[in-house]
Amino acid sequence: MGTENAIIKIRNRKVELKLTFEYADHIMHNFMHYNPPHDVCFLDIQRIAKGAVFQNKKGRIWCGVAQFNGKKYQIVIILTAKFAVVKTCYYYKHA
């Protein structure tokens, strides 16, 4: 099975975080690009994303909202491979 790429953006107030993950068999691994804001670490990002409810906005763009440590986060997933949709959204919605 190949891996698919997705770009994930997490926003909290004026902080924007961009990451690129590789997906394989429902597991997030091999993060390639990471610019952390001061109050969020990598594990927190996984927890935030897992708690989010996503809706498809347009094509490969999925938007979600999650609450973590009393703050609301907006999450945007931009898929860069077509059949990553099912895997990615399954992972985030049900993991």
**What count of Cα atoms within 13 Å lies in the side-chain half-sphere of residue 67?**
1
- pLDDT tens, residue by residue, 6-18: 555 555 444 444 4
Domain with 13 in it: 4-94
**Residue 79 reports pLDDT greater than 60:** yes
Q: Which residues contact 88 (CB under 8 A, 6 or more apart)?
A: 4, 6, 23, 62, 77, 79
Quote the pTM value.
0.43
- Read off the CATH number of the domain in which 52 is found: 2.30.29
Question: What pLDDT, in 10s, does the model give residues 39-51?
Answer: 455 556 666 766 7
**Domains identified in the chain, total number:** 1
